[in-house]
Amino acid sequence: MMILCYRFHKHTYNILQLITACLLISVSGIFNQIYASKNPAFSFVADTIKTDTIKRSLSNELKSKVIYNSYDSILFDVVQHKVYLYYNASIKYEDITLNADYIEIDWETKTMYATGLMNDSAKKIIGEPVFTQNDEKFTSSTIRYNFGSKRGKISQVITQQGDGYIHGDTILKTANDNFYIKTGKYTTCEDTHPHFYIGAEKLKIIKNNKIITGPAYLVIEDVPTPLAIPFGFFPNKKGRSSGIVIPKYGESAQLGFFLREGGFYFGVNDNFDLLLTGDIYSFGSWGAGFQSRYVNKYHYTGTLNLEFSKLKNSERELPDYSLRKDFFIRWSHQQDPKARGNSNFSGSVNAGTSTNFRNKVTASDNFLQSVFNSSVSYNTWSKNNRFNFSAAARHSQNSLTRAIEISLPQMSFSMAALYPFLRKNNPGRSAWYEKINIGYSSNAINSVNTFDTLLFKNETLDKIRYGVSHSVPLSASFRVFKYFNLTPSASYTQNWHFSTIRKNWNSTINKVETDTVKEFRISNDYSAGASLGTRIFGTAMFRKGKIAGIRHTISPNVAFNYRPDYSQPRFKYYNEYQSDSAGSISKYSIFENGVYSGPSSGKYGFISFGADNNVELKMRQTTDTAVNFKKVKLLESLSFSSGYNMSVKTFNWSVVNVNARSTILQFVNVFGACSFDPYAIDTLGKRINRFEYNVNKKLLRFTQANGSISFR
């Protein structure tokens, strides 16, 4: 018998090993010629020798190459046609991988044997075999495997099957990847020595299908219990599956005995599934359901649920007989934020008959819910976010009052502040008209308020309200008189109305009657305003001491806003009518029942003014290397504000408000506020149109104060 032995350690570099390596290379060429003469199909693949491993690939009558390597050494027995691999050895054949500290290959019988080795220091077996095939993985004490028949015998094995673990004394593997286990354990405990398990003398594992056992019993902490079964069946399927859904059973006083939510589930593919269910009641009622989930990875995901039922109560000949048809739809759709960079589509629909959950046996949470809302929306915007368009459909339903409100469609378009008119390509200097910014937005609504029983009736069409609104805001900012900032603004809104109302007093029934007139009218609403402000600084510096300086900042501001009175006859937006039998005359807006209400009545012209104060200290901090300065806010804000209303005849002046805010020690916040009224009160405490100064010789009358302290 000729034995060739080669050891190569990565940390041993001596002449003897180098000579041994050279001899091995020479003899392995001779071995290749000798064995190839007997087995023409057998040949060595060129070796690649590294510092810590040797890899070779052999092929005999096998269908594929066998690639093996070892960390420590490989020993060839040419006469017996065997190979021995020591320490951290591995074998790879087709979809099979074996790792162990000792592997023996017999090329004559095409078999392989693997086990662990005794550790000299720890006195225990290490490097026990780990057998892997596709997604199956076994850890055992010994393994024997035949490459040709693909059958194997495994001792003291542990493997995971689905959500559980299989322990077995001896396992036989067949060519069709089924396993027969003698003295096995089935458990969900992850420990090598499980705390509990179902023990059986015989088990059979059918790959990706099921696990079958003979007589089995429950063991807890190695103590057998009297709980036993004549046989066991554990599903072991992976991936998608279809099957029967077991129905729920029970009894209803009105509908009789029932089988509910039974049917069949279809696992169609990775993107779509389907569940068909049905309900049947002994008194003649029935129902059907459709549920589906869908997903397109990185694009969208959603669920769809449809329900329909036909519920029969009592008998046709009896007075309490009724036959009701109910339906309900639930749909949820979400788009992945990364799917499209400038658009988004989402949907949430909950709609159906108001009696759907009250008439049949259902879950309590659905039964108690009385309000259902739906929303389907689409948004898109430009890359620079200056243009935005959205369209939506909304629905709100109350199952108790049976009221329903639908808005379909509801669209809006907005345009951010445009670049100023006639902008020049000179960012350094610009004309006054280049500082004017204009925006635009538009909304369109079509809605109806009715009851679910009248939703599809002709009279519902007369209740539909629709309209369009356009809005154009304008703003600008200018520097005037060198130190002042002037900010004018204006807003224009135009609403399109497709119906108006008329109110008249009916003396016959002593009641105001309201008639709807189908006509197209346009209402215009505009307002304007401006504000003027500046800042005044007062600073005092100190050359010595911790305080380097103190600065007082005053920010005065005055603003004016104006809006006309649209109830004046020249606008034709308001009409007069008799409101009671006494002949009282009132005004009403002809647009008050529309989607967009018309301009409000009353003139508005208000001048507001005020001033804000801020006091800061600059503290000097001296160190060994430099002098640093730190700002400390002594008084963050002390503001005074009031105003004058030009649109009223009495009480033109507003209350004077004083607010103060500061922070102490960087974590205590102090706030205080008080109000002073320029008008006096009478003996009953009622405010009168006379100044406090004219009555009590005081400039202002104190009315209220409040304060708070908070810290963190």
Lookup result for tokens 């399109």: 496
Identify the pLDDT of residue 418: 61
**Cα distances (angstroms) measured from residue 3 to each of 42, 86, 263, 672:** 19, 16, 69, 99
The pLDDT of residue 610 is 96
- The answer as to whether 67 is a domain residue is yes
The predicted pLDDT at position 359 comes to 63
Q: Which of 50-54, 179-183, 518-522, 629-633 has the lowest mean pLDDT?
A: 50-54
- pLDDT tens across 11-36, in order? 333 333 433 333 443 334 333 433 33
* Sequence-ordered strand ranges (E) for 80-195: 82-93, 96-106, 111-115, 117-118, 125-126, 130-133, 136-139, 142-146, 152-161, 164-173, 179-187
Mean pLDDT, rounded, for 543-552: 89
Total domains, the chain:
3
642 and 667 share one domain: no
pLDDT tens-digit readout, 404-427 = 989 888 999 998 766 554 454 555
Whether 450 is covered by a domain: the verdict is no
**Cα dihedral value 213, 218, 224, 230, nearest 10:** -50
Structural contact between residues 449 and 403, judged by C-beta atoms closer than 8 angstroms: yes
If asked whether residues 623 and 667 sit together in one domain, one would say: no
Mean pLDDT on 291-319: 90
pLDDT confidence of residue 292: 95
Lowest-confidence region among 37-41, 76-80, 89-93, 680-684: 37-41
Q: pLDDT of 197-229, one tens digit each? A: 888 888 888 877 778 888 888 889 888 888 888
Strand, helix or coil for residue 174: coil
pLDDT interval class at 238 (50, 70, 90): low
In a domain, 279, yes or no: no
pLDDT band at 7 (very low <50, low <70, confident <90, very high): very low
Same domain, 222 and 127: yes
Which of 201, 235, 269 is where one domain is finished? Answer: 235
Q: Is residue 68 part of a domain?
A: yes
Say how far apart CA 354 and CA 30 lie, in whole Å: 91
pLDDT digits (tens, 9 = 90+) for 159-190: 777 667 888 888 887 777 788 888 888 888 88
Under the banding of pLDDT at 50, 70 and 90, the label for residue 49 is very low
pLDDT in the model for residue 1: 31
Residue 453 in contact with residue 404, Cβ under 8 Å? no
- pTM metric for this prediction: 0.61
pLDDT, greater one: 641 or 172: 641
Same domain? 682 vs 552: no
Three-class secondary structure of residue 650 per DSSP: coil
Whether 123 and 206 map to the same domain: the answer is yes
Task: Please indicate, yes or no, if residue 408 is contained in any of the structural domains.
Answer: no
Q: Which residues pair with 465 in a beta bridge?
A: 447
Please report the pLDDT score of residue 588 as a whole number.
Answer: 93
Q: Is the pLDDT of residue 384 over 90?
A: no
* Average pLDDT over every residue of 468-480: 92
Q: What is the mean pLDDT of residues 115-119?
A: 85
Distance of CA 201 to the CA centre of its chain: 50
Query: pLDDT (tens digit, 9 = 90+) per residue, 57-70?
Result: 444 456 677 788 88
Residue 285 lies in a domain: no
8-12, 153-157, 655-659: least confident range? 8-12
On whether both 618 and 679 belong to a single domain, the answer is no
Q: Is residue 50 part of a domain?
A: yes
Least confident stretch, 62-71, 479-488, 636-645, 646-655: 62-71
**What's the CA gap between 374 and 328, in Å, rounded?**
12
Q: Which of 5-19, 99-113, 549-563 is least confident? A: 5-19
Indicate the length of the chain as a whole number: 712
Percent of the chain scoring above 70 in pLDDT:
86
Residues paired with residue 637 on neighbouring β-strands, in sequence order: 661
**133 and 68: one domain?**
yes
Quick check: 613 pLDDT over 50?
yes
Query: Which domain CATH number covers 40?
Result: 2.60.450.10
pLDDT mean over 503-522: 91
Looking at residue 368, its pLDDT comes to: 62
Same domain, 634 and 692: no
Same domain, 595 and 683: no
Report the pLDDT value the prediction gives residue 321, as an integer from 0 to 100: 84
Helix (H, G, I), strand (E, B) or coil at 205: strand
> Which of 607, 625, 647 is at the close of a domain?
647
- Shared-domain flag, residues 85 and 146: yes
Q: Judge if 88 and 150 occupy the same domain.
A: yes
Residue 522: pLDDT band by 50, 70, 90 thresholds? very high
Average pLDDT over residues 617-621: 88
pLDDT at position 644 over 50: yes
The pLDDT value given to residue 186: 82
% of the chain beyond a pLDDT of 90: 36
474 within 8 A of 489, measured Cβ to Cβ: yes
User: What's the pLDDT score for residue 555?
Assistant: 96
In a domain, 265, yes or no: no
Q: How many helices (H) and strands (E) in the chain? A: 4, 52
For residues 685 and 513, give the distance between their C-alpha atoms in angstroms, rounded to a whole number.
42
The chain-wide mean pLDDT, for the chain, equals: 82
Identify the pLDDT of residue 213.
Answer: 83
User: How many whole angstroms separate alpha carbon 294 and alpha carbon 677?
Assistant: 66
Say how far apart CA 184 and CA 159 lie, in whole Å: 11
Nearest to 352 by CA among 344, 342, 362, 338: 362
Sign of CA dihedral 564, 570, 574, 580: positive
What range does the domain containing 500 cover? 464-647
pLDDT above 90: residue 671 = yes
Q: What is the pLDDT of residue 119?
A: 79
| Residue 87 pLDDT class (50, 70, 90 cuts) | confident
Q: Could you give phi then psi for residue 5, rounded to 5 degrees?
A: -125, 135
What pLDDT was estimated at residue 627? 80
- Using the 3D structure, point to which of 604, 622, 647 is the last residue of a domain: 647
Residues 93 and 134 in one domain: yes
